[in-house]
Amino acid sequence: MTPAEELYHKIATQTPDATQGKMFGALCLKAPNNKAGVLFKNDSIAFKLEESLLNETLSLDGAQIFEPADGRPMNGWVQVPYSYSEKWPELAQKAMEFVKTL
């Protein structure tokens, strides 16, 4: 298991009310309303964020709109590389709070 995957699993166990599942064949966390907010893929995490936080997060070097397949961007999702792993726990919390409102 890579350090990125270990951190994802740690976040998953520390996120209240989150259930673990899969989306697009990748590991994800879902809120009680069954909406996904966190998705682990290729040693990075994609977060479903409200617009202002999404735009702020996109300013991080290497962050980008999440595309589960090339050329298929997902609205509201930002993929954050492992180089910003210190931000992952807070972003995961904010993502899960946001998707609970959808």
State yes or no: pLDDT of 72 exceeds 90.
Answer: no
The answer to whether 83 touches 62, Cβ cutoff 8 Å, is: yes
Q: What is the pTM of this model?
A: 0.93
Q: What is the DSSP string of 17-82?
A: T-EEEEETTEEEEE-TTS-EEEEEETTEEEEE--HHHHHHHHTSTT-EE--SSTT---TTEEEEEG
Nearby residues of 102 by Cβ (< 8 Å), 6 or more positions away: 33, 35
Mean pLDDT of 9-17: 93
Confidence of residue 32 (pLDDT cuts 50, 70, 90): very high
Domains of the chain: 3-99 (3.90.1150.30)
